[in-house]
A and B are shown apart, each in its own frame.
Chain A
Amino acid sequence: MNSILLRKELREARWKIVLGTAILTATALFIPLAFNYIKDLISVLPQEQLEKYGGIMTLNIFNDFSLYLWSQWNAKNLTQIGTILAVLVGMNLIAGEISGRTAGFLLTRPVSRRSVFLTKALAGMLTIIFMVWFATIIMVVVVNYFMPYTIDAGRLFLTTVLTTLGLLVLFSLTLLFSTLIDEPVKAGGATLLIILLIVLFGWFGPLRFLNLFNYMSGARYFLGGIFPVVPAAVMCGSILVLSIAGLSVFEKKEF
């Protein structure tokens, strides 16, 4: 890790950090503020329609504010917006240096490729972690201090750990493609194709276990109370494996 490079990476990512944090925070604030409005809206719908299309969950989430927050935040908005942000943060890190032709300038300084790659990976991960946790903490603080609801903040935070791990897996995948493909948009596109494939796994019963998004939502923990140790470990392992693969490609890459 190189502090000069880290400052450079964070500076280059500053607009992504600002906009990503703003979008996530706005969404995080909208969810609790919209609780009564959505609850009223749902209540006017015919019961049989709700049971037919919304399932039991739709009814239950309005009886438990923590459940509502989780279902709208971890299981939905954070996962969806976070996925897009993870790809946007990662796709430019290596491919951007190549397409901008600054890689030659950077790599002719006395700095190892390992240091360059790991610093970029760290900068990207810190960016994602900051955006996710800033928005989540703001949401919990606002609910606890300014709204008449009580929430299980500990459980929500622990679930957010799982969501963050999933987003870091997607970021590491994007970084790998950013190393393999010299064009940022193509690297992002290739990652999105893989993500689409992962989503498709969720549609087929026997392959469901391969769907990362099932684990990212933390449903098993939030609804069942059992922390998914193995999936969490697999996500950590995936981050490590994808990062090592990216590093290996980067160290062998010719510029």
Chain B
Amino acid sequence: MNLAIEFENLSKNFGEKKAVDNLSLQVPEGSIFGFLGPNGAGKTTTVKMMLGLLRPDGGRGRVLNRDIGRESEAIRSKVGYVAEVQEMYRYMTVQEIISFCKPFYPHWNDLLVKKYLDFFQLPAREKIKSLSKGMKTQLALILGMAPEPELLVLDEPTSGLDTINRQEFLRIILEEIAVQGKTVFLSSHLLHDVERVADQVAILNQGKLIDIRPIDNLKTSVKKIRVVFQKDVPEELFSQPGIQSYTREENAYLLSVEDNLQEILNSLKKYPYFVLDIINQNLEEIFIEKVRRDQE
């Protein structure tokens, strides 16, 4: 398996605060990788280390088979980047910022630029300072895709967009980048967006990786079980592997389960019950559960 991104014990401290704490992860080439975490989890710090804006305090990282510390410029020539708040030179027009960026890259797709300028109806002669936040994000996406990058890094790109524009944004990423087998690294706390497009996710909390796996696997293995027993059951029943936590009210239990689902169900069914439901969870519920549990 070829890897687009590989971190090994990557760390970054700001004073006493560990912004990124021994982060190890691998992003396969051609995947759409969701990088999730609450605000302040270390997502942007990680992205900045990938692009050479910050230097790691420990560990190592490779992006597109190049070292993030020593080969940052070479990495950036093959990476498109869309930031959460994309400040560009306000005095430049849309066309001028495109002309400014173009010579930096070995490849530049003028047709794609024209296509999406027309699609987004971005006025080429308008100054950046007079564009709305959404238009700036759309322009940043065009600038990110135009060099035909092998890896597109998106750091909270849809935060400033309305629902329609967010959907368009994600559709374009799928059409222009993912379909061509290029890698997308999508850092976001907007979980519906990630759920819609990502095939793998990593969850970061307080700088630490708390889970990483294919999104389908996450959704099939992380469940809630609601069970109401007819009489008291031994507490040991809930200490078996896979049960992450549970709440109890009389003989009614709500279990948070991760992996080992079938064995857990079998053992629960050994006791007489009124109700036994398996509740599917969406990514947002899984995320909240995991972060909450990690914080406990």
Contacts and interface: CB of A to CB of B under 8 A. Distances in A.
Interface of A: 4, 8, 12, 100-102, 104-105, 107-112, 252, 254-255
B77 A110 contact: yes
Contacts of B48: 255
Nearest to A4: B103
Nearest to A254: B54
- Top 10 A-B pairs, shortest CB-CB distance: A110-B77, A101-B87, A110-B76, A255-B53, A109-B104, A108-B81, A254-B54, A4-B103, A108-B51, A112-B73
A93 B7 CA distance: 34
Interface of B: 48, 51-55, 73-74, 76-77, 81, 83, 85-91, 100-101, 103-105
A252 B69 CA distance: 11
B85 A108 contact: no
A109 B53 contact: no
Contacts of B77: 110
Given A4-B100, A8-B100, A108-B81, A100 B87 contact: yes
14 contacts: A4-B104, A101-B85, A101-B87, A102-B89, A104-B87, A105-B83, A105-B89, A108-B83, A109-B76, A110-B74, A110-B104, A110-B105, A255-B53, A255-B54
Contacts of B76: 108-111
A77 B83 CA distance: 47
A104 B52 CA distance: 10
A105 B54 contact: no
Given A108-B81, A255-B54, A102 B105 contact: no
B54 A111 contact: no
A109 B91 CA distance: 19
A252 B52 CA distance: 10
A112 B103 CA distance: 14
A162 B88 CA distance: 39
A254 B87 contact: no
Nearest to B52: A107
B104 A104 contact: no
Interface centre among B48, B54, B73, B91 (most CB of A within 10 A): B73
B103 A105 contact: no
A94 to B, nearest CB: 14
Nearest to A102: B87
Contacts of A255: 48, 53-54
A8 B53 contact: no
Contacts of B86: 105
Contacts of B90: 100
Nearest to A255: B53
B89 A8 contact: yes
Interface centre among B81, B87, B90 (most CB of A within 10 A): B87
B18 to A, nearest CB: 16
A105 B100 contact: no
B77 to A, nearest CB: 4
Interface centre among B53, B83, B90 (most CB of A within 10 A): B53
Nearest to B105: A110
Contacts of A12: 91
B88 A105 contact: yes
Given A107-B52, A111-B76, 6 more contacts: A4-B103, A102-B88, A105-B89, A109-B101, A110-B77, A254-B54
Given A110-B73, A110-B76, A104 B53 contact: yes
Contact of A104 (B83, B89, B103, B105): B83
B53 A107 contact: yes
A100 B128 CA distance: 13
Contact of A108 (B53, B55, B91): B53
A127 to B, nearest CB: 17
A17 to B, nearest CB: 15
A252 B48 CA distance: 14
Nearest to B144: A108
Given A4-B100, A254-B53, A111 B73 contact: yes
A252 B53 CA distance: 10
A110 B101 CA distance: 9
Contacts of A108: 51, 53, 76, 81, 83
